[in-house]
Structure 1
Amino acid sequence: MSDRMTGIPFAQLMRWAFKERAAEDSIFGVASAKFFRKSNQNTLALFGAELENPLGPAAGPHTQLAQNIIAAYLAGGRFFELKTVQILDGADLPVAKPCILAQDEGYNVEWSTELTVPDAFNEYVKAWFVLHILAEELGLGSSRGFLFNMSVGYDLAGIQSPKINAFIEGLKDASRTPIWRECREFLLGNLGMFERVDRAFIEAIPARVCDSITLSTLHGCPPEEIERIARYLLTEKGLHTYVKCNPTLLGYDFARRTLDQMGYDYLVFDDHHFQNDLQFADAVPMIGRLKNLAAERGLIFGVKLSNTFPVRIANQELPGEEMYMSGRSLYPLTINLAYRLAEAFAGDLRISYSGGADSFNIDRIYAAGIWPITLATTILKPGGYLRLQQLAERLEAAYHGPEFNGIDVARLRSLAESALTDSHHLKESREVGTRKLAKDVPLTDCFIAPCTVGCPIGQDVPEYLRLVQEGRYREAFAVIAAKNPLPFITGTLCNHRCMTKCTRIDYETPVGIRAAKLVAAERGFAEYSAGLKRPVIDSPFKVAVIGAGPAGLAAGYFLGRQGVDVTILDRKDKIGGIIQHIAPGFRISQAAIDHDLELVRSMGAKFRLGVDGNFSLAALRNEGFKYIFLAIGAWKPGRLKLAPCDREVINVLDFLETFNKTPQNLALGKNVAVVGAGNSAMDAARAAKRVAGVENVDVVYRRTRQYMPADRDELRLALADGVQFKELLAPLSFQNGVLRCQRMELGAPDGSGRRSPVPVPGAWDDLAVDSVIAAVGEGIETELLTDNGIGLDAEGRVQADPETHETSLANVFIGGDALRGPATIVEGIADGARFARIVLERENLGALDLAAPASFDTERQLSEIKLKKGLLQTPGQPESEGGRCLECDTVCNLCTEVCPNRANIAVRVHHEALHNRNQIVHLDAICNECGNCEAFCPYDSAPYRDKFTLYANQADFEESRNAGFLLLDEEARRFRVRLGEQTADVTFDSAGRCHGAIPAAIAALIWATYQDYHYLLR
């Protein structure tokens, strides 16, 4: 495919908008429920016009094509900063692809529009007409209630060139341009399309598209050049003018310190831009002179804050050497720059703002007197343009009068100071990891719930979240218990990797999946248990499970449920493994554990407790056990090497077991150090704080808190309990009550962005410590395995079949910690379920039944999902978290939402060959391969390359390798189709029957596109 996008002809643009609205109740993917309709007469005075709200897309991907601007308007945008034009354009402009990465903080490597300047002009005029029509026809607001603001760069010679001059003059008066006549004539010739728009309205659409401009300059542009350009725009062009400023005005030290403090220490940049760019001391008098000049001319002058922030491409995030940062990490820089400039002018400075604005701060930015406010990064994320509706409504509620009355410097100072600690902008607020799944996106039926796939046991998360939301707790518990024998334990202690896959993480915070599971357990257990029938144990063979932790309990649960005779053996006096014996009571109650054990027991498993830990597989064989599952747990203490060391270092498992059973026996002294940074370290630190006599507990870790492997929730709970973190320290010795630590610093990021600690030569810290608890990773007692003839590999790991986990001994399997090293609870459950499935298959007892279907009101569900899209919400009570779940397995559409150009389309297809009625079609002609859909697709794929593609012409079809189709003959309904390396021509009869050798699902998708979405075909 080509990375060159083309504009949609005006006639097709209009037909697309109106036909999509009639068929789908949406326009360019913006559902009518998400249209922003002006509800009052409050407007803002700007550039001699009345602006309905001061919000819109920044100069960038959302203002490069007409449909982008239209989508932004529908959702709430009213101030449109058109994408920057420069003399270097079209095919002459070098743009690396992909050019956008907005997974968290945003990055890009683009400068200006990729269109030619005349083509960009055409897009802006087309959008101007359509916005007038939609405002009137749909009653969205006044057709005079929005503004276009042109953006140009990058030097005076280029701006004075005939090409850019024609662009500027054309937007000042478009009436004599061919595109103006084309649009006007089409509308006048198709008045039948409209109910509220008439000839007089169309003829009155003003030809003055823009009377304001924003100047964008490259890094290193001399201050005198910036001032010359601004003077030219004010005096020669008579335009209201904003000058875009760079965050480098703040100085290198401030930027480096701020980003490090907020967790963005991995960003690589030096001071050369800071030295070469406009300096603050020069900027203030220049701005003052330009303000005075504009006032003399009766024009408005202001600054646009801010440009993006340049950082080095250190890990191949994007092609090239330097990329430009934006989004939530840019916010603390931009808002502090706004404060410094506003303070320098005592508040008498107009600021147009863009730099990490979102729903959590936009009303506060506006309340400080800063507007208009434009956005890019936040609307590159899931929800896309739909996010603008919420933002527009917040600004409407915060309205404070029509005129600019200066900036409230005190309020802005408070906002700037709070930005440095605002959780929405701290890096650690986003869980470490990727939402990507190790799967290729299929051509059809690609909708998937990343939380479910990311869960080792495949919990049906969206289903039970909705059931909890609807108060159907017994059904929610049944859905959970179908795959999970430990709902209370996982609802409390699970490391919830599902939440790191949650689409909500790209909105604000993941859905509280674990907490909602616990609600289902607490409120659904009794009713579920009352109706539970104990299975009949009648298998002709016996199974032995060694270890009564999660893996062993799961094996007994699933096999017992299927009528298999299972005995679980454990050397401890209680079942439950590490959870029972190690997890502190403040983490999980005994009652919660007992409920899960009751559930497991109800499936018929038998238990032998207090058995000799030195088990004999031969003896178990002699007892008649045909299958054996080893789930012995990771009870072997990890070793912390300290030399010299004059007192015992306490192992974390020993400490926590004693804390649980006989805490009165613990004597730790006043000062305790916990070495390690996983969840067990947090448990130990919090437990130590509760031991009599302990006053101070330090967690000692060789990296910074940002890189601690413990769950963010566990870190916060530890801090709330008064635990202190000693970061960048590596313990060396423990002697005479002193824990000597090597001071560390973080080295350069590796490919994953993780920075390894390296010693600071000659630098130590001495901590006064009475006790040291080592939480440095536990192991398994491999001697128990080798003594029974189970083979290990060269690294001491159990040799097991990668698919079945069968060991070197026939019918002896392994799982949980014994297989993986310290495993998570759900990994153990998954291993137990796998073992049960294999036993059932080998004994021809059928498949393991993991289904617990629930019924929903489909239409209500689809309607509610549509309303959630683009709506940022703070977490509520656990029972209401289903209201935040986006139910991705029912409606995903992420690639359609995040595409600025609308190049991915959801098509409704009803066919038995397809499981989902929504399918994705990619439109080659309007895609520029920016890469944004790849960033957010849950699959390890790029929709712009990997989804079924509709081509506009034969040349594009031949240039691409995408699977896709091209309409060859309208009358004959003949298409050319490529699937893999095979290309074929197929035809359809009038009933939609395909004549040609292509899969039925693909044929159904092509026919639905042709029949119901004909406006997509050029």
Structure 2
Amino acid sequence: MGKVTGFKEFERQDEKYTSVEDRVQNYNEFTVPLSDSEITKQGSRCMDCGIPFCHSGCPLGNLIPDFNHMVHQGEWQKASWLLHSTNNFPEFTGRLCPAPCEKSCVLGIIEDPVSIENIEKNIVERAFKEGWIKPQPPETRTGKTIAVVGSGPAGLAAAQQLNRAGHTVTVFERDDEIGGLLRYGIPNFKMEKGIIDRRVAILEAEGITFKTNVNVGVNYDVEDLKAFDSVVLCGGATERRSLPTPGIDADGVVQAMDFLTQQTKVLFGKKVENQVMATDKNVIVIGGGDTGSDCIGTSNRHGAKSVVNFEIMPKPPGHRSPTTPWPFWPLQLKTSSSHEEGVERNWLINTKEFVKDKNGKLIALKTVNVEWKMVPGQRPQLIEIAGTEKTWPCDLALLALGFAGPESTLADKLGLKTDARSNYKAEYGKYQTNVPNIFTAGDMRRGQSLIVWAISEGREAARQVDLYLMGKSNLPSKDVTGDLVAM
């Protein structure tokens, strides 16, 4: 490394946020970028650690020490080349990824880990600014046609890789804009949608065709997919979880994704009838994950009277738990920027009833505190604690409970096998379903997961499709250990 003592000389510095008072007044990104000189220092904190675990912690196998070193040396264009060699969309991951790479950083054992995610974001933003990211259409076409169903990160990655191999690619998206959950599931204050648009413009210039408002299996006959030589299903895991709780049908109990999608559509001038608003309401968000956090941030921007968060699991420790030692993903409390904007967080609490008035409107939630009983060899048991019942005033309950798996429509109509969790069956590393020319990747194959896994699976599936169609492939790949294999 160019600065072998950098980790001793410089402390980790993260981007700052604008004040809560200012940022809740709009839906724009609110990070304050570090200077180029500070980012260079951050790159120099990357240790010459001998065996780096960061790029095995990352499902993409990003060449993290290498691009950190380039940033340290001021070789930003080389850093961009290295970054894009394994990651099609670092502008997405640099904003949205929970950064498993940082949790497996060797420096993180004794100090704050290297700020890999922020370095990644700065590299790609510098590359766009300098005009280094340009369309790279293939020199020749193979004559093979491929349909990619779904335009989230898995679908977009698969499409770009297959297009680079010279195939003619059409991407079908059932919504009115490209991006999948990146578009409507992620609030604009976490990623402004122009970030998606500029990348899609690159993909279009490379020769990929995008078709929106096309719901394959609903308003597009699956028989028409037979016109393509191969199909890649990247529709995500969009079957939302609910609760078997009395009163769940109350007016005011809303799925989180509906709430978030409506807000983003309205923000961009799209017509939404009867938008769910949190303004002047007592809001309770059920679910403590990222989607719950997004609902908290959106509710505060609506001007909610109060925002409360329920989580049925125990409160995680403030530091890495001994049960998840380095380099594993840690069991550790996460406090997001949305939490900092105002919320009362509650753990080990279970909703027993959604209370309605005579008109069916939600007016309260009844809860009970719980504990988890661990019995060796058995599933954990949820035990209610007597005497802890409580009624909470509530006008809007947002269900941020994650997703149960992919919708079954395409599997049913295409005759595809699914597993016990309803995921579309395809072996990891092969991505091929029981119908030979149909492949699947991302959340639709593995279940609800991370954006880096979606991009990784899209890239890997593309290579397998290329091998299926051509008998060989020059697309890069990783083996199951996470190492890059020869192109």
2:316 maps to which of 691, 699, 706? 706
Does 1:689 find its partner at 2:311? no
TM alignment of 1:811-826, pairs within 5 A: 811-826=437-452
Does 1:765 find its partner at 2:393? no
The farther-off stretch of 472-481 and 670-679 is 472-481
Partner of 1:721: 341
Q: Deviations over 1:803-825 (max 9, x none)?
A: 30211111111111111221211
Does 1:730 find its partner at 2:350? yes
Q: CA deviation at 1:471?
A: 2.5
Distance 2:133 2:89 in 1: 17
Q: Greater relative contact order (Cα 8 A, min sep 6): structure 1 or 2?
A: 2
Does 1:806 find its partner at 2:416? no
Q: Deviations over 1:637-694 (max 9, x none)?
A: 22123213433421111110011122693333421011011111111111111114x1
TM alignment of 1:483-882, pairs within 5 A: 483-527=86-130, 529=132, 533-614=136-217, 615-621=220-226, 623=227, 625-645=228-248, 646-662=250-266, 665-668=275-278, 669-692=280-303, 694-706=304-316, 715-736=335-356, 737-747=363-373, 758-778=383-403, 779-842=405-468, 843-849=470-476
The amino acid that maps onto 1:764 is E
State the identity as a percent. Answer: 27
The amino acid that maps onto 2:224 is A
Structure with the higher helix share, 1 or 2: 1
2:52 maps to which of 433, 449, 454? 449
Contact 2:406 2:422 in 1 (8 A): no
Distance 2:54 2:375 in 1: 28
TM alignment of 1:405-420, pairs within 5 A: none
Contact 2:127 2:133 in 1 (8 A): no
Distance 1:850 1:763 in 2: 53
Q: Deviations over 1:344-365 (max 9, x none)?
A: xxxxxxxxxxxxxxxxxxxxxx
The amino acid that maps onto 2:295 is A
Distance 1:750 1:526 in 2: 56
Distance 1:636 1:600 in 2: 28
Q: Deviations over 1:884-931 (max 9, x none)?
A: xxxxx9xxxxxxxxxxxxxxxxxxxxxxxxxxxxxxxxxxxxxxxxxx
Distance 1:510 1:824 in 2: 20
Partner of 2:71: 468
Seen in structure 2, the aligned counterparts of structure 1 residues 749 and 677 have a Cα distance that, compared at 3 Å, is: farther
Contact 2:429 2:460 in 1 (8 A): no
Contact 2:287 2:310 in 1 (8 A): yes
Contact 2:135 2:206 in 1 (8 A): no
Seen in structure 2, the aligned counterparts of structure 1 residues 512 and 670 have a Cα distance that, compared at 3 Å, is: same
Seen in structure 2, the aligned counterparts of structure 1 residues 634 and 579 have a Cα distance that, compared at 3 Å, is: same
Contact 2:316 2:331 in 1 (8 A): no
Contact 2:312 2:348 in 1 (8 A): yes
Q: Helix, strand or coil for the counterpart of 2:147?
A: strand
Q: CA deviation at 1:747?
A: 4.2
Contact 1:546 1:552 in 2 (8 A): yes
The amino acid that maps onto 1:661 is K
Q: CA deviation at 1:538?
A: 0.7
TM alignment of 1:93-492, pairs within 5 A: 447-492=50-95
Distance 2:333 2:312 in 1: 20
Q: Helix, strand or coil for the counterpart of 1:787?
A: helix
Q: CA deviation at 1:569?
A: 0.8
Instruction: Report the number of matched residues.
Output: 408
The amino acid that maps onto 1:798 is Y
Q: CA deviation at 1:618?
A: 2.8
The amino acid that maps onto 2:290 is N
Distance 1:698 1:710 in 2: 25
Q: CA deviation at 1:612?
A: 3.1
Q: CA deviation at 1:780?
A: 1.5
Seen in structure 2, the aligned counterparts of structure 1 residues 713 and 747 have a Cα distance that, compared at 3 Å, is: closer
Distance 1:531 1:561 in 2: 13
Q: CA deviation at 1:554?
A: 0.3
The amino acid that maps onto 2:312 is R
Cα RMSD, aligned residues only: 3.1
Q: Deviations over 1:754-807 (max 9, x none)?
A: 987532124212211111000111231113211221122344332223430211
Moved over 4 A (4+): 707-714, 746-751, 754-757
Q: Helix, strand or coil for the counterpart of 1:799?
A: coil
Q: Helix, strand or coil for the counterpart of 1:575?
A: coil
Distance 1:598 1:466 in 2: 30
Contact 1:551 1:816 in 2 (8 A): yes
Q: CA deviation at 1:463?
A: 1.1
Seen in structure 2, the aligned counterparts of structure 1 residues 448 and 558 have a Cα distance that, compared at 3 Å, is: farther
Contact 1:647 1:735 in 2 (8 A): no
Q: Deviations over 1:706-745 (max 9, x none)?
A: 1799997962313311122012211111104111111113
TM alignment of 1:862-1011, pairs within 5 A: none
Q: Deviations over 1:155-201 (max 9, x none)?
A: xxxxxxxxxxxxxxxxxxxxxxxxxxxxxxxxxxxxxxxxxxxxxxx
Q: CA deviation at 1:616?
A: 4.0
The amino acid that maps onto 1:791 is K
Contact 2:293 2:339 in 1 (8 A): no
Distance 1:761 1:735 in 2: 20
Distance 1:532 1:672 in 2: 45
Distance 1:507 1:706 in 2: 21
Q: Helix, strand or coil for the counterpart of 1:791?
A: coil
Q: Helix, strand or coil for the counterpart of 1:761?
A: coil
Distance 1:526 1:452 in 2: 26
The amino acid that maps onto 1:848 is L
Distance 1:742 1:680 in 2: 23
Distance 2:198 2:331 in 1: 25
Q: Deviations over 1:589-639 (max 9, x none)?
A: 122222332343343221111113425443211x2x111100012222221
Seen in structure 2, the aligned counterparts of structure 1 residues 793 and 458 have a Cα distance that, compared at 3 Å, is: same
TM-score, normalised to structure 1, is 0.38
Partner of 2:19: none
Contact 2:134 2:202 in 1 (8 A): no
Gaps of 5+ in 2: 11-48, 319-328, 357-362
Q: Deviations over 1:123-176 (max 9, x none)?
A: xxxxxxxxxxxxxxxxxxxxxxxxxxxxxxxxxxxxxxxxxxxxxxxxxxxxxx
Distance 2:159 2:419 in 1: 28
Q: Helix, strand or coil for the counterpart of 2:93?
A: helix
Contact 1:492 1:514 in 2 (8 A): yes
Q: CA deviation at 1:515?
A: 0.9
Q: CA deviation at 1:490?
A: 0.8
Contact 2:59 2:456 in 1 (8 A): yes
